[in-house]
Amino acid sequence: MGQPLRIGIVGVGAISGAYLTTIERLEALRLVAVADLDAARAAAVAAAYGARALTVAELVTDPGVDVVLNLTVPAAHAEIALAAIAAGKDVYGEKPLAATMDEARAILDAAREAGVRVGCAPDTVLGTGVQTARKAVDDGLIGTPVAATATMVTPGHERWHPNPDFYYQPGGGPLLDMGPYYVTALVTLLGPVESVVGAASHSRATRTIGSGPRAGERVPVDVETHVTGVLRHESGVLSTLVMSFDTVASRASRIEVHGQKGSLVVPDPNGFDGAVELHLLDGDWQTLPASAGYRDGARGFGLADLAATPPATTARANGALAYHVLDVMTSLLTAAEKGTAVAVASTCERPAAVASLQHIEG
């Protein structure tokens, strides 16, 4: 095994805890530096994990950092990524790749010119849940895929998140916040998307924070909070997508994939594992044993996959995939606004499968 990938984290808010746990656990990764707008919070994390607390400018130029892990809010994704790329660093970011398509394109263009790599969450699709489902599709268990559904409904993150403002600002909303998990899973299972149609709405002008020191405070809603659409994959498969912060609950499967010979229930793409269920034409529901994907996956496994990927090879949780997923989602919002079908301008390679059960040392 080579030297561990040296990670510098920008942004140590709520999501950072999952990454910090993974980095500490995996031999392929080593945390060396952290930065945050809240210097005291950065100092506390640095002390707890044996890293250095730096300013953002110091971290992105530090020669001891191999990859900048960008865990800032979506509106800051491009600024931090471009600064790191300008310093010659590989970048791995939380989803979405950027708040706008122009910013996302700037990131990929800058990385190509600088000869550095861009990775992006979600890496949940590398776990045993989605990868076992993908293997079932690739092995022909359901025959030729015809359609899929993806459903994520919740009454809103303000009920539990102490600072939910960014979920209701441009770059947020249910589609750009949770959609990356579902659209990335659909592209992993069924390939890239060529066009979309859709509709969207929002039910309230403000949201009330339900927990933490700001409980009771209202935040404005500047995005659509219920989005539904149909994605036409290049393969011809039609995927129906529902993403909502306006609804209470659902009994619908998170993802289903339907083929001419059978149907699959795919587990929550916001997690790494879960049961994959198969129903054949003349059979009944059965649970498939885990047969592919990274075992014991957790946020940060995309970084470990990047560390294990030779420089000339594209890592699975890569920037081109994240760009296409963002293109699909922003095209869907455009289609909803215009009331017409919209062609998705980009495409991507279907990411390489984790075709057998694998374990990352740690």
pLDDT of residue 182: 98
Q: What is the mean pLDDT of residues 59-68?
A: 97
Provide the 8-state DSSP code for 237. Answer: -
pLDDT at 108 over 90: yes
Interval 162-220: pLDDT, tens: 999 989 998 789 999 999 999 999 999 999 999 999 999 999 999 999 999 999 999 99
- CA-based torsion, 278, 121, 293, 344: positive or negative: positive
pLDDT of residue 109: 98
Question: Which whole-number Å values give the CA distances from 39 to 10, 46, 61, 145, 312, in the listed order?
Answer: 11, 10, 18, 51, 37
What amino acid is encoded at 170 in this protein?
Answer: P
279 SS3 class: strand
125 SS3 class: helix
Q: What is the mean pLDDT of residues 73-86?
A: 95
pLDDT at 1 over 60: no
pLDDT at 112 over 70: yes
d(CA 244, CA 225): 6
Of all residues in the chain, the percent with pLDDT exceeding 90 is 91
Residues 6+ apart with CB under 8 A from 309: 315, 316
Q: Sketch out the chain's domains with CATH numbers.
A: 5-120 (3.40.50.720), 124-295+318-343 (3.30.360.10)
The mean predicted confidence, pLDDT, of the chain is 95
pLDDT of residue 166: 87
Task: Give the residue with greater pLDDT, 210 vs 309.
Answer: 210
d(CA 277, CA 253): 11
What's the whole-model pTM score? 0.95
Provide the 8-state DSSP code for 299. Answer: T
63-77, 111-125, 157-171, 258-272: range with lowest mean pLDDT: 157-171
Which residue's structure tokens are 């939910």?
164
First to last CA, the chain: 12
CB atoms within 10 A of CB 72: 23
